[in-house]
Amino acid sequence: MRIDWIEDLVALLDSGGVADAARLRNITQPAFSRRIRVLEDVLGIELIDRSVKPSGPSRVLRDRESDLRKQAGDLRRLVSEMRQEQTLGVRQLVIASQHAITTSLGTQIINAVAKPSHTHIRLRSANRDECETLLISRQAEIALTYRIKAEPAGEEQSFLAEAIIGSEMLIPVCATDHAEDLMARFREGTLRIIGYPADVFLGAAVTRHALSNLRDQCEISVIAETGLSTAALQLAQSGLGVAWVPEALAQPALQRGELRRLVPELGGIDMDLVAQRWASTPNVATLEAWTRLTTAL
């Protein structure tokens, strides 16, 4: 479907009526009505409900509103990227990355991919499932996610290429000034932690591979919960409790002496940093970025 047709339909949905939609599209009402009639003939679908006055979007059009808005957004983004490439001579590459990876390794990713080839990198930070969805739906060329080393990798998808490009560890940390108190409480039978929701990757990882080994030794007291490792790190630094975070994320605070690493006492979780892309792709920028990512990180 032509982009101007989709824009016409979105304008109709935005305004709720033909006259206002015509004004949004900066054309006369008769001209807009003719365009909609042509589109109805082409699609064989009633797009305007003419049984009411003033006429407005038909039920079938309203039912597909979210799909149309998504298509309009995707097409606008595509056109913008193509214009940017033509104007600047710069190729755009979308990399979907888990939040924790973006925070701890974002600069390294950009340096590894963008600088050598003058490729414009759009780093989309998302949770693990969203990263995989962005890749499968071709909204991202490459996905970067964590995988627990102790867990089976699962069945490989034949349409995806995969490479392990690094290692990471989820480590328990706490504020240095509060470490003695927190560890004393732990020895007495209570471990105060900053938790993650059970339905996110980090939450499942910490529950299965850290807390399950500690429940026989102590009671787990979740002082606060967050879905972001950066927030968990900040809460741990404030002295509230222990948080399991990627070691690369905690490294600056560890080096400054603000955090204490508690792996010997509470255990760490080894992870692989996994890159994925479509196995068959003609996109030169993707292939070049893949080569650099798999050798530079």
**pLDDT tens per residue, range 243-282:** 999 999 999 999 999 999 999 999 999 999 999 999 988 7
Q: Which residue, 55, 73, 91, sits at the end of a domain?
A: 73
User: For 225-253, what is the mean pLDDT?
Assistant: 95
pLDDT score at 85: 62
User: The domain containing residue 215 runs over which residues?
Assistant: 168-271
Q: What is the pLDDT of residues 129-162, one digit of tens each?
A: 899 999 998 889 999 999 999 887 777 778 899 9
pLDDT of residue 100: 87
278 and 159 share one domain: yes
pLDDT band at 231 (very low <50, low <70, confident <90, very high): very high
Q: What is the CATH number of the domain that holds 216?
A: 3.40.190.10
Same domain membership, residue 259 and residue 177:
yes
| Pair (158, 18) in one structural domain | no
Is a pLDDT exceeding 60 seen at residue 189? yes
Asked whether residue 277 falls in the same domain as residue 156, the answer is: yes
**pLDDT (0 to 100) of residue 72:** 86
**132 with 179, same domain?**
no
Better pLDDT: 231 or 53: 231
Tell me: do 184 and 255 sit in the same domain. Answer: yes
Residues 204 and 288 in one domain: no
Predicted local confidence at residue 214, as pLDDT = 95
Number of domains in the chain: 3
Last residue of a domain, one of 37, 53, 73: 73
pLDDT digits (tens, 9 = 90+) for 69-128: 888 888 887 777 677 666 555 567 899 999 989 988 888 888 888 765 667 788 999 989
How many CB atoms are located within 10 Å of the residue 138 CB?
A: 10
List the single range of 27-41, 226-240, 277-291 with lowest mean pLDDT.
277-291
> Considering Cα of 145, then 148, then 149, then 152, what sign does the dihedral take?
negative
Check residue 195 and give its pLDDT: 96
Q: Which of 44, 73, 102 corresponds to the end of one domain?
A: 73
Same-domain pairing of 203 and 281: no
Same domain, 151 and 95: yes
pLDDT in tens, 192-213: 999 999 988 999 999 999 999 9
| Same domain? 67 vs 209 | no
Please give the pLDDT value at position 114.
Answer: 73
In the prediction, which pLDDT does 157 show?
Answer: 78
Identify whether residues 177 and 241 lie together within a single domain: yes
Q: What is the mean pLDDT of residues 185-189?
A: 96
Looking at per-residue pLDDT, the higher value among 55 and 220 belongs to: 220
Query: Within this chain, do residues 178 and 200 fall inside the same structural domain, yes or no?
Result: yes
CATH number at residue 25: 1.10.10.10
* pLDDT higher than threshold 80 for residue 241: yes
User: What pLDDT score was predicted for residue 92?
Assistant: 75
Report which of residues 15 and 154 the model is more confident about. 15
What residues have CB less than 8 Å from 286, skipping those under 6 apart? 93, 141, 142, 277, 278
CB-CB contact of 266 with 242 (8 Å): yes
Q: What is the pLDDT of residue 86?
A: 61
